[in-house]
Amino acid sequence: MAPGLSSPGRRFRAYTVKHLDRLTERAGLSPDERLAVRAVATVLPFRTNEYVVERLIDWDAAPDDPIYRLVFPQADMLPPEDVGWIGGLLARGAPDEEVRAAAHAVRTRLNPHPAGQLALNVPDYADEPLPGVQHKYPETVLVFPKQGQTCHAYCTYCFRWAQFVDEPDLKMATDDMSRVTGYLRQHPEVTSVLITGGDPMIMGAAVLRRYVEPLLGPELGHIESVRIGTKSLGYWPQRYVTDPDADDTMRLFEEVAAAGKSLAIMAHFSHPRELEPPMVAEAASRIRSAGGIIRTQAPLIRSINDNPLTWATMWRTQMRMGMVPYYMFVERDTGPQGYFAVPLYRAHEIYRDAYASVSGLCRTVRGPSMSATPGKVCVDGVVEVAGEKVFALHMIQARNPDLVGRPFFARFDPRAIWLSDLEPAFAARFPFDNVPEELPGLWAPEMFPSLT
Ligand code: SF4
């Protein structure tokens, strides 16, 4: 085994692309297959760690093991011509510059920033854009801390993969909390701040404090909850138990609760195996003792968690550990979406079958939900209305709050994997499509008073 990059003071050991060939050899891949995997890892990020490799992956089942597939790139995640092109460059030892240019060309075809993130969601403060902040829904602001834009391991399906590749134009982050709090003071409608990444829990307690503490002051009394989006409970639960700053982190969480705000760990778990090591239960217990609540979420991913038993087992185990199942997401329209996507109709079947098999305490979960440009669109099912087979949908979240919770329909399409694949049914457009004034001659605004 290649030695990993160890971190002093804790036993965290990262594996990067340098270790990929040795690790994929352990999975039984041939030299050609390993070259193809390296080609994919030249375009998309790869990083894992010793805990994931030694404790979570079932190497007897690799490369089909779901946790192996969660962190190791697959040769067919990218079009074969791209894999062949970059694999050829690697095989002949092409100059770094040439390899980088090829990787960049492939990335630009992968919709690196889905849902209009760079263009639509960055707010202005003092007449200038506030980079590293997103304000998409009125009540929630997302903060991307500069030091939190990496993760303990990378998921192969990550929709934020562009944050992790070596291209400054594809990154968004801030380390200027005085501007962030200045913006929040001007926006009393914001009640929740989500600190996200990457994984903010990659930051040590002292650095995390620089982002959390400024949110606790009396001038931000309208902030009711501080959320931290993280996969650390799955990839490095030691962060809350045995890391040198685990106790300091708990004290910080206690301060959030003492300030009268809810501290919510938005925990990403992809598969029930991530919940098995006893350290995870211990971490969850410590977070709860510090006043935090853990809400769980993950996308539905082909070949990793695309069956109802996997989800039902996850939700039941999480509930037993005091966590609250929160979201099943649909794989987003970026990166290798085509490879990991599950058709929407099938996603709903999996959700419904899992939901039907768990107790009411697990039915806090919502989904399958698409985080798309207009908002979070939930697939409620496939129904027949007036002789037509349609998807029933509603918006869980919307840029326009007036659209939240209103049902609407789309024509059934068994191949649809994302909102953009759907056509409206019983209407000429979706509720979130252009407002009537933008379609002169077709619509009179007074026909849709609630949308104008
Ligand atoms: S932990 Fe989250 S941000 Fe990090 S790679 Fe996985 S999905 Fe992406």
State pLDDT tens for residues 212-236: 999 999 999 999 999 999 999 999 9
CA of 147 to the centre of ligand 1 (A): 15
Q: Is 104 helix (H, G, I), strand (E, B) or coil?
A: helix
CA of 281 to the centre of ligand 1 (A): 21
Q: Quick check: 447 pLDDT over 80?
A: no
* Residue 136 in contact with ligand 1 by CB distance below 6 A: no
Give the Å distances, CA to CA, from 17 to 34, 204, 437.
12, 24, 51
Q: Quick check: 9 pLDDT over 70?
A: no
pLDDT bucket at 259, cuts 50 / 70 / 90: very high
pLDDT bucket at 166, cuts 50 / 70 / 90: low
Name every residue whose Cβ is closer than 8 Å to that of residue 350 and which is 6 or more positions away in sequence.
Answer: 300, 306, 307, 308, 311, 342, 368
State pLDDT tens for residues 277-317: 999 999 999 999 999 999 999 999 999 999 999 999 999 99
Q: Residue 1's pLDDT is what?
A: 39
* Residue 160 in contact with ligand 1 by CB distance below 6 A: yes
Nearest to 110 by CA among 170, 39, 197, 68: 170
* Residue 198 in contact with ligand 1 by CB distance below 6 A: yes
* Residue 154 in contact with ligand 1 by CB distance below 6 A: yes
> From CA 392, how far away is CA 387, in angstroms rounded?
14
Mean of all residue pLDDT scores within the chain = 91
In the structure encoding, which two tokens stand for residue 397, read together? 């979240």
State pLDDT tens for residues 53-108: 999 999 999 999 999 999 999 999 999 999 999 999 999 999 999 999 999 999 98
pLDDT bucket at 179, cuts 50 / 70 / 90: very high
Mutate which of 49, 268, 274, 301 to test ligand 1's pocket (most atoms within 8 Å of Cβ)?
Answer: 268
Name every residue whose Cβ is closer than 8 Å to that of residue 392 and which is 6 or more positions away in sequence.
Answer: 379, 380, 381, 382, 383, 407, 409
- In the predicted model, what is the mean pLDDT of residues 150-177? 84
* Residue 274 in contact with ligand 1 by CB distance below 6 A: no
State pLDDT tens for residues 368-399: 999 998 899 999 999 999 999 999 999 999 98
Category of 408 on φ-ψ map: left (φ > 0), alpha (ψ -120 to 50) or beta: beta
Pair 274, 280: CB distance under 8 Å? yes
Identify each DSSP E strand in 181-261 by its residue range: 192-195, 225-230
* Residue 152 in contact with ligand 1 by CB distance below 6 A: no
pLDDT bucket at 439, cuts 50 / 70 / 90: very low
Name every residue whose Cβ is closer than 8 Å to that of residue 302 and which is 6 or more positions away in sequence.
Answer: 331, 339, 340, 341, 342
Ligand 1 closest atom vs CA 164: 5
Pair 251, 216: CB distance under 8 Å? no
* Residue 267 in contact with ligand 1 by CB distance below 6 A: no
pLDDT bucket at 167, cuts 50 / 70 / 90: low
Q: Quick check: 442 pLDDT over 60?
A: no
